[in-house]
Amino acid sequence: MKLTIIGASGSFPGPGSPASCYLVTADGVAEDGVTPKTWRILLDMGNGSLGTLQRYIMLEDLDGVCLSHLHPDHFMDLCGLHVAVRWNPDGWHRGRVPVLGPTGTAERIAVAYGMDPEPGMHPDFDFTTWEPLTPARLGPFRITPHPVRHPIDEAYALRIEVDETDADGSATTRVLTYSGDTDECDGLVEAARDADLFLCEAAFHEGRDDAIEGVHLTGLRAGRMAARARARRLLLTHLPVWNDPQRAVSEAAQAYDGPLTVAVSGMSYRV
């Protein structure tokens, strides 16, 4: 499994990065169960991400979009993807794009685009509503949504698992956990339990944002969550433009002693 950072800027795009969007790829087989295929999914699709995404894949190669929650910096560029699917003059030959998200995803995106929710974007997207703690399948990916703590009706951390065969022939399950947006909570710890890579937001700074509860993590809180979960690597993301990345890392290192860095648009990581 490979993670490519499309966008890591918190709350709105920054000068060097779109808002939240992460490309995850893994090898598997096509729907026929035989033909080898590389699967490509997105975790969130915040504003600015659609343009940057095209540096890495053809849009028609996208196999699905998984939304952590319905704040615009995590889903708004689905509106642009809808235009690509609907109005490509050469036609869109892949059928409807799977979109997995919270309750009301189809209606929220239609309203964001200024469309009547019926039919809305249903002709272009195959919408599926998350069932908390119930894995969904997209190709080789098992994606389990864990409820987390954020001021919106439904917010999820996403645990993505892929079964792989190592060079010695042994079977291994690789785990990537994406926090979405959240403050400290038990659900986040369970989502990241023993993850090979924990992609975790750190939008706040200690001292500056202490009075705000139930919205975002600081670097220190992200480190505490990673330590409790025994995650093997921690990758901090969703840093607003006014945050100091090194301060976020220094905070996290006070609680977490494993490999630690900040997500940068354009970087890829093997999980």
Predicted local confidence at residue 165, as pLDDT: 81
CA distance 215 to 184: 9
Predicted local confidence at residue 93, as pLDDT: 84
Predicted local confidence at residue 111, as pLDDT: 96
Predicted local confidence at residue 166, as pLDDT: 78
Predicted local confidence at residue 91, as pLDDT: 85
Annotated domain spans of the chain: 2-270
Predicted local confidence at residue 71, as pLDDT: 98
Residue whose structure tokens are 């409820």: 147
Predicted local confidence at residue 170, as pLDDT: 84
Three-class DSSP labels, 98-156: EEEECCCHHHHHHHHHCCCCCCCCCCCEEEEECCCCCCEEECCEEEEEEECECCCCCCE
Predicted local confidence at residue 130, as pLDDT: 98
Angle at 264 between CA 260 and CA 268, to 5 degrees: 80
Residue 119 and residue 93 in contact, taking contact as beta carbons nearer than 8 Å: no
Joined together, the tokens standing for residue 4 give 């490519």
Q: Give pTM, 2 decimals.
A: 0.97
Residue ranges of the chain with pLDDT lower than 50? none
CATH topology of domain 2-270: Metallo-beta-lactamase; Chain A (3.60.15)
